A and B are shown apart, each in its own frame.
Chain A
Amino acid sequence: MCSRSSPMSSESPETDRALVARIESRDTDALALLYDRHSARLLGLAQRILGDTGEAEEILQEVFLYVWRAAATFDSSRGPVLAWLLVATRSRAIDRLRSRRPSVRAGGRGQNAALDPASGEDVEADAASREWEARCREAIGQLPQDQRRALELAYFEGLTHQEIAEATSSPLGTVKTRVRLGLMKLRESVRSYRKSEGHGA
């Protein structure tokens, strides 16, 4: 996570946005700073999705090359920089995961021990970041188990709603509803947190 402040706070997006603006003007130092700030979380996400160290690092490289090329397309009204990076990382990782199916299926990917897990101090240097993560965990923890499971299968495993229905032995309509209700609840948590941080709803 951002090592200086919450990714959903008013400070972090500004700071990260300033880096993105510098990257837009071809400032490699800014990209290095953004990398130092967020690479551990992005790599953790790619690693969780792909379960392979090499591929996760390739995704990380692709994402920062994308940031270098597409910094001008970043739209701060659609969320903070970290969210932009997470979406870019996840979508690339999911694409790669889907491209190698069915050889690797959900649940068949173990955690790769070759990478050192980053400590909390490495990636969350201030209380705001820890608070944001705690709020996220709390919001996820409050989800009904079936909604949480459906979202995790979609987010980390890249399963379609049909595949989730098969994996959970649930009707297709039910899976859709679970996904919608789960995201609605996470959305409310994000909104209330951003509101408390001064972003409004």
Chain B
Amino acid sequence: MAHNERFEELAALQALGMPLGGEAPDFARHLDEGCPVCEELLADFRLAATTLSVEAPPRRPRPELRGRILASLPGPAAAPAVRPAPVPRTAWWLAAAAAILFVFILWDDARVRRQREELRSQTAQLSGELARAQAETARRDLRVRVLESDDVKVLYLGGKDPQPGARAKVFWSEKAKTGVILAGNLAPLPPGKQYELWVFAEGKPVAAGVFDADSSGRALFESKNLPGLASAQNFAVTIEPRGGVPQPTGPVVLVGTPAA
């Protein structure tokens, strides 16, 4: 049905909540068919009608009404009744399935834990192999850069009290400006201590860096850009505070015996 003035009148009546009587079906059908004019009129008329409310003088509610309204607001969903409802048959099946699932999860969790331990063990083993491979690489690198240098020199260091069993060799190259100490039978040190390598040049010790021994008492330490190598006369290792000191203060555990 095409839009016409009659429908506008019906829209006005409906906006005010007035019953349309026998004309209601016509208007409903008209709206169902989609009349944008009437749809807009309905909304606008409802809004326009609210302007009439200014003719009603505002009334201050009694103070207690506010609290009564707020107290009557429905809260969150109530707790279940005290008496539990009978469990439907399907719920028992669900409970049984849940129990089976729970057992499976426990079993699977134990299996995952075992796998994790195995992986941890394999990781530790691989880490050890990697460390050994790195050490081997370092030794090979040492040979390339120092031992195979045409000016390489070697000095044997012997243990001194308190570590008379310690042994070491120092390789150095003036061209490479690098010295390498390869030590064994070193004692473990407290956390605050480190071994420190010294180069004796012109009778004075020059700090050449600090290093740690591994758990088997071995150490491989490379000192780069080492000054005074050209006039190096001897090498020594002392026990010093971690990080090293500019002048030796601790006990000497290794010292070289320069060739006469």
CA distance in complex: A165, B44 (Å): 24
CB within 8 Å of B: which A161-184 residues: 161-162, 176-177, 179-180, 183-184
Q: Does B65 contact A (CB under 8 A)?
A: yes
From B5, B55, B57, give the contact of A140 (CB < 8 A): B55
Which one of A60, A151, A180, A184 contacts B61 once the chains associate, using CB atoms below 8 Å? A60
- Closest A-chain residue to B42, C-beta based? A78
Contact yes or no, B66 A35, CB < 8 A? yes
Number of A-B contacts (CB under 8 A): 164
Whether the Cβ atoms of B73 and A68 lie closer than 8 Å is yes
What 0/1 pattern do residues 103 to 119 of A give for CB contact below 8 A with B? 00000000000011110
Structural contact, A160 and B19, CB atoms closer than 8 A: yes
Tell me the interface secondary structure of chain B in the complex. helix
Majority secondary structure of chain A interface residues (helix, strand, loop or mixed): helix
| Whole-angstrom distance between the Cβ of B51 and the nearest chain A Cβ | 4
Given contacts A32-B66, A140-B54, contact A160 B59 (CB under 8 A): no
A interface residues, how many (CB within 8 angstroms): 65
Given contact pairs A79-B43, A79-B47, A180-B12, a sample of 18 additional A-B residue pairs in the complex whose CB atoms are under 8 Å apart: A32-B70, A39-B61, A44-B58, A48-B57, A57-B62, A60-B69, A61-B69, A65-B73, A78-B46, A79-B46, A94-B17, A158-B17, A160-B19, A176-B9, A183-B45, A187-B44, A187-B47, A189-B48
Q: Which residues of A contact B (CB under 8 A)?
A: 1, 26, 28, 31-32, 35-36, 39-41, 43-45, 47-49, 56-57, 60-61, 64-65, 68-69, 78-79, 82-83, 86-87, 90-91, 94, 115-118, 122-123, 133, 136-137, 139-140, 151-152, 154-156, 158-162, 176-177, 179-180, 183-184, 186-187, 189-191
